[in-house]
Chain A
Amino acid sequence: MIELRQLSKAIDGNQVLKDVSLTIEKGEIFGLLGRNGSGKTTMLRLIQQIIFADSGTILFDGVEIKKHPKVKQNIIYMPVQNPFYDKYTYKQLVDILRRIYPKFDVTYANELMNRYEIPETKKYRELSTGLKKQLSLVLSFAARPALILLDEPTDGIDAVTRHDVLQLMVDEVAERDTSILITSHRLEDIERMCNRIGFLEDNSLTNVMDLDELKEEYIKIQMAFDTDVNLAIREQNIPMLDQAGVFYTVLIPKSDEEKKSFLRELKPKVWNELPVNLEEVFIAKFGGKRRW
């Protein structure tokens, strides 16, 4: 479906992405994680050719997008904000988009508008943040793309709307085999939706793996000690998720027997091994440099 090969990009002299490679298959929902400024949005903008890569190629079904931008009829990018939409109503936006995207399905768009009760006569800028996101998604899906690039689609919306937005995405993938590349700070959303995830860290895409595999790879250990072992744990570079008095929660790779032995040698009074969630893995990976 979409393939990124050795993609590099520097902005204002700062290397944002370096030799990033990734393939997303049909019907796959891929979650792109990373801290603010790690290059997630830049990666989406590179795919959509809003900016050009310094090196590397991006292929859609084997066709290089830069040389054949017409293939972007199959790719829709939904940014965090879309100021272009602001002054138009739903009908006006449909009128513009259906001339650009030949497969634009007006009937489907109307159906989704009715389903989510989005006002059709209001201008985009007059809608609430949640409704703006929903309208953008409706227009994106109605263009019948094969791949949708979603940048923070659930950012700034309430729980109910978020549920609707996520459901809309899940339905779309289930019904039409659409591929989705999604960035989000809401790890629970990523965890709920994505088949695979990847971490953008130090300009590179790391730990691209199946979400279940990732969770299987780590283990959370809750321990209680008689003495303060904080420093000892820190010295071993073991990510500490929480400490409350003598109770410690740490996260280590399941296969790291060396660290596990070290912790056992500290003679904990309590030892509980628990499954991890994505947020804990994320904090362990990205919070580590700051916290320990």
Chain B
Amino acid sequence: MTRVCTVRVGPLALAIAAEAVQEVAQGLEPVPVPLAPPVVAGLVNLRGHVVTALDLRAHLRGAADAPAGGPGVHVIVPLPEGPLSLVVDDVGDVLDVGPGDPPPDGLAPRLRALVDRVHDRDDAILLRLDPTRHARHARGRGAAPPPAGAPPAPTPAGAPP
């Protein structure tokens, strides 16, 4: 069983592994970063730390209707390179879920680039996010998913079991 923190982005029910979440913060106002990819909402001050905030709402809806409703809630996810804030509409319960399934092929590309596992709950389908993929989106220009076949799976040739 994995413990996940559920979040809402528009109509989507998403989940982030609870152990990956450092904290949830509200009332942070991102300062925009010119030249950053559109998914970057800006920088926020989290108790003296400068944290990059990614607006999941802008990303998942597409840049076209970017004006996101309300200030949103910042889910702080520590990554090796520093903490990352994922801006969502709302944070829900913490649930225990099973191993889940790989994301189905039919998933929209924007989502597919971020979603790690899918959990079929009685009341809803939960899409579990992999925060490290968000970090990738924050780098460089263009928030397109990584080019096909770019980072290969770690299968070193000739490695004995």
Check if A and B associate: no
A interface residues (Cβ-Cβ under 8 A, vs B): none
B interface residues (Cβ-Cβ under 8 A, vs A): none
